[in-house]
Amino acid sequence: MLRHSKVSPLLSLPGAVPAEAPDEGVAAHYGDLFREQRALADGSGFVDLSHRAVVTVTGPERLSWLHLLLTQHVSDLAPGVATEALILSAHGHVEHALYLVDDGETTWLHAEPGTQEALIAYLESMKFFYRVEAADRTDEFAVVYLPAGSIAEVPERTVVRETAYGRELFLPRGELEPFAAAHGPAIGVLALEALRVEAHRPRLGMETDHRTIPHELGWIGTAVHLQKGCYRGQETVARVQNLGKPPRRLVFLHLDGSEVHLPPHGTPVRLAADGEEGRQLGFITTSARHHELGPIALALVKRNVPVDAELSAAGTAAAQEVVVEP
């Protein structure tokens, strides 16, 4: 039974295979993973992300208020401009990753499935005297992803978050099935995850753990603005930025294609020369099968692991590419 997540009506489409955590409630694929990946890469189809949390912030002071809480500079965010931001703990550890757009009256954001309750609780605790209202809109709106290059027509009055990677629609839930009928083929989240891994893009809960700081994952610049004012956790961000020594770094791995099984999240990463008895240097965060690259993965390893070192994960050879410089 799902908790804190929505079950999509599109799971009734032919061939739909339900996704596993953390993407329960939507389809992993619809019968042909590589065909779905190629369609996305060509700008076709859409991905049902209706399990993701949707939160809105309204009120005349919403942007100035969010600016105080987030790692991103949003006080003068123009309508229709997409951005992303983090909420950090007092020690600078990543607690929430948010994907935002403002429509001139409301700030819309989506976040990881099931995180809306904790997110709303934090926002409510920080309201003080500001004229703002934060609301969980997950029951009303579904996130739908259209790949870059898609020519699909967006329904009128739909809030759109447009990025270099594609468009994310905040679609009323009642329009999800009609949209699917008009804009297929439906594509599962595994195809989108494979392209995310290829693009080296971190995801909360996959690339993060309880002690992750933004520098380790390359979120500096995309989700963290280094010249803005104070926010919770800023001291850690500034200290690591000045010293240039985050304890870990994100790497991209080309996995040995002869292996049948992908190493799951949390699989220890070691030096290949040391074998399975060697010291653990990190762990697999996300692994995927890519339609062109074959088996690939992201991993978080210690900063001092040599960038040319041959690694292994559960006996699978892994050649690394640098994502975050050591």
pLDDT at 238: 94
Domain that holds residue 153: 9-52+140-199
127 shares a domain with 57: yes
Give the separation between CA 262 and CA 295, rounded to whole angstroms.
7
In the listed set 86, 118, 136, which residue is the last one of a domain according to the structure? Answer: 136
Structure tokens belonging to residue 93? 């550890």
Distance, CA of 48 to chain centre: 14
- Is residue 239 domain-resident? no
Establish if 131 belongs to a structural domain.
Answer: yes
Q: Which parts of the chain are beta strand (E)?
A: 17-18, 27-29, 46-49, 53-58, 83-88, 94-102, 106-111, 133-136, 141-147, 159-163, 166-172, 186-187, 248-255, 268-271, 282-290, 294-302, 310-313, 316-322
Which residues is 301 bridged to in the sheet? 249, 282
DSSP H stretches of helix in 126-267 = 176-183, 189-198, 214-217, 234-243
* 19 and 125 co-located in one domain: no
Q: Are residues 28 and 157 in the same domain?
A: yes
Residue 294 placed within a domain: yes
Predicted confidence at residue 221, as pLDDT, reads 87
**Could you give the number of structural domains in the chain?**
3
For residue 269, tell me if it sits in a domain. yes
Residue 102 lies in a domain: yes
- Which CATH number does the domain housing residue 111 bear? 3.30.70.1400
Show the DSSP H helices in the chain as ranges. Answer: 33-41, 62-69, 116-125, 176-183, 189-198, 214-217, 234-243
At residue 68's C-alpha, the angle toward residues 66 and 73, to 5°, is: 75
The answer to whether residue 193 is domain-embedded is yes
Q: Are residues 108 and 100 in contact, defined by beta-carbon separation less than 8 angstroms? A: yes
Torsion of Cα atoms, 9 then 12 then 18 then 19, to 10°? -40
Is the same domain home to 170 and 74?
Answer: no
For residues 125 and 171, membership in a common domain is answered with: no
Are both 24 and 94 inside the same structural domain? no
Q: Are residues 43 and 151 in the same domain?
A: yes
Contact predicate 233/85, CB 8 Å: no
- Residues belonging to the binding site are 168
User: How much is the pLDDT for 259?
Assistant: 62
Asked whether residue 39 falls in the same domain as residue 167, the answer is yes
Co-location of 46 and 150 in the same domain: yes
Q: Are residues 115 and 187 in the same domain?
A: no
* Alpha carbon distances (Å) from 141 to 6, 109, 110, 173, 315: 10, 11, 10, 5, 43
In a domain, 153, yes or no: yes
User: Residue 22, preceding bond cis, omega within 30 degrees?
Assistant: yes
State the pTM of this model: 0.94
Annotated binding site for substrate: 168
Which of 111, 136, 161 is at the close of a domain?
A: 136
Digit-coded pLDDT (tens) for 55-64: 999 999 999 9
In a domain, 158, yes or no: yes
My answer on whether 30 and 154 are in the same domain is: yes
Statement to judge: residues 46 and 170 lie in one domain: yes
* Mean pLDDT per 10-residue interval, the chain, length 326 residues: 67 96 97 96 97 98 97 97 98 98 98 97 95 97 96 93 97 96 95 97 97 97 92 95 91 84 94 91 97 96 95 93 93
